[in-house]
Structure 1
């Protein structure tokens, strides 16, 4: 009888310890996992911080950017820092992307970039109006029509140079070895982008290069 009582007491003690441990672990898990209310409060706090900073920037930015422009820049920063494959496109950027993926557009046929803060021709595309006019890699574009390129972005320059086929455009460029700026009067045309190049190497190897993906690949 005495042994039975001891067994019962031992069993009850084990149950009590087990319940206490379970309760302790449950309390720890609950403490480790924030509640929905705390998550919502944190979210609202973060949004309030963003709104406050946005208001300060809107009031004091030196470029007089509108709230829409500031929001676009905020979204661009957010997506560009998210991962290597995310980006934000405003209407202008989206329209440019559609033009590029169409595989053809009205323009001059030059690739441009910024070198030493100057709008520079990287290369003319063979057979295009720019190539036929005599433009060369390394030409620095000073003016597009009568508009200076000194404070112009690449996107703005490309937007101006692109246009309806058979329409004229004037470029003033500086070329190494030339004492005076050169002026080119060019008629825009349909520029077809060759996105796939092939050649045979050694007679039995076919080399295929894909430079971009568009509707004409």
Structure 2
């Protein structure tokens, strides 16, 4: 496509920002861009405190994208780098899960076989300084960023531990740490797998979990699998497709449709079912979004799994990451996705086959008005008209740490032995 380089925005200092606009752009577009230039010039010259060009341009970009939908956004270089760490699922660090308590960083748990665990850090330890700098005054994110760094680099961590009078220093060497997005365990004769996000490690993690827990139970005794996607905000589309494919022998998994009629992509399953036809229950709630909904929708439409819990979040849009010359990136909504039966769940969500609500820890009825879904977000992308939007109550409460109080998981475990799979389709 031919583009004309047009210098449209004149600043007080006489500088210009060159903008690429399509040849044949309407006169109205030029007028609107000149209006932006006029406002920018006036702010630069007359605002009470002199703002930087970077701040104004970044704010203008964010404002433009926020007016489109809640998921399109601009990432500066730092935010883009952080996002890449999350999607890769690994980074240079120490291997501890932490929280902030009373101004100090508190160790929630050291991750097995990492520098932190090998050095003897324990749950409940307080980190009071990093390389001699007090953590008091730091945000949790700032402390975490300071603990991360190049692999094989050193950091001195000052620790306060209950029962020991004086703080002590531990010198740690950073190593490759993998974000643990997949957790699994045996539940009786069932395989329980929880996926907390869809990063690059998830498909491999799910396969390993199935193999490991199957060995523990015995292949001939495995009743089925519970795939827990509650409060999973999503992540990488290719990982959602790969996980769905692990349980399907054939058929479409998901399709995406963009702005133009020919902008359609379809993704289909390949032969092979890791569970060899055994029953599957997928747990979802109002915090299950995006990639989680792709998996739940695919398995539901093919009747390969029973979906249990409460209606999911309803994010049925696809964001493309577009790197920019300044090392930042643009996250832009470029398509809607559709389940195998052609459903768009945008602003609607996945309705479970069996609705099971989670009883709050305090026993009080949940205030549904406090739970937000995609349909509640300002400027949310509209659905495709295939069904009405629904901003009704969602349930995204915390999953109880006490397994005995997890009503949704307990119902799934109770129901699993009665489920049967006939011709790759689940029945009860």
C-alpha separation in 2, matches of 1:178 and 1:45: 65
**Structure 2 unaligned residues grouped into runs of 5+:** 1-30, 203-428
Partner of 2:154: 168
Pick aligned residue for 1:132 from 110, 118, 123: 118
Once the two structures are superposed, residues 27-52 of structure 1 have per-residue CA deviations (whole angstroms, 9 ceiling, x without a partner) of: xxxxxxxxxxxxxx9x9999988998
Deviation at 1:198, TM superposition (A): 2.2
C-alpha separation in 1, matches of 2:106 and 2:163: 16
The change in CA–CA distance for 1:81 and 1:150 in structure 2 (over 3 A counts) is farther
Name the TM-score, length of structure 2 as normaliser: 0.34
Q: Does 1:123 align with 2:109?
A: yes
Partner of 2:194: 209
C-alpha separation in 1, matches of 2:87 and 2:109: 20
Q: Does 1:94 align with 2:80?
A: yes
Partner of 1:159: 145
C-alpha separation in 1, matches of 2:140 and 2:67: 22
Q: Does 1:107 align with 2:93?
A: yes
Deviation at 1:171, TM superposition (A): 0.5
Deviation at 1:130, TM superposition (A): 0.5
CA RMSD after TM alignment: 3.5
The change in CA–CA distance for 1:78 and 1:133 in structure 2 (over 3 A counts) is farther
Partner of 1:147: 133
Q: In 1, are the aligned partners of 2:103 and 2:135 still within 8 Å (CA)? A: no
Greater Cα radius of gyration, structure 1 or 2: 1
Name the TM-score, length of structure 1 as normaliser: 0.62
Deviation at 1:194, TM superposition (A): 3.0
RCO higher in 1 or 2 (8 Å CA, sep ≥ 6)? Answer: 1
C-alpha separation in 2, matches of 1:77 and 1:118: 35
Q: Does 1:186 align with 2:176?
A: no
Deviation at 1:93, TM superposition (A): 1.6
Which SS does the other structure have where 2:144 is aligned? helix
Q: How many residues align?
A: 176
Deviation at 1:116, TM superposition (A): 2.8
C-alpha separation in 1, matches of 2:188 and 2:68: 44
The change in CA–CA distance for 1:153 and 1:79 in structure 2 (over 3 A counts) is farther
Which SS does the other structure have where 2:108 is aligned? strand
Deviation at 1:178, TM superposition (A): 2.4
Q: In 1, are the aligned partners of 2:129 and 2:159 still within 8 Å (CA)? A: yes
The change in CA–CA distance for 1:68 and 1:119 in structure 2 (over 3 A counts) is farther
Deviation at 1:74, TM superposition (A): 7.9
The change in CA–CA distance for 1:195 and 1:56 in structure 2 (over 3 A counts) is same
1:36-51 residue pairs with structure 2 within 5 A?
none
Partner of 1:17: none
Q: In 2, are the aligned partners of 1:141 and 1:174 still within 8 Å (CA)? A: yes
Deviation at 1:102, TM superposition (A): 1.0
The change in CA–CA distance for 1:165 and 1:58 in structure 2 (over 3 A counts) is same
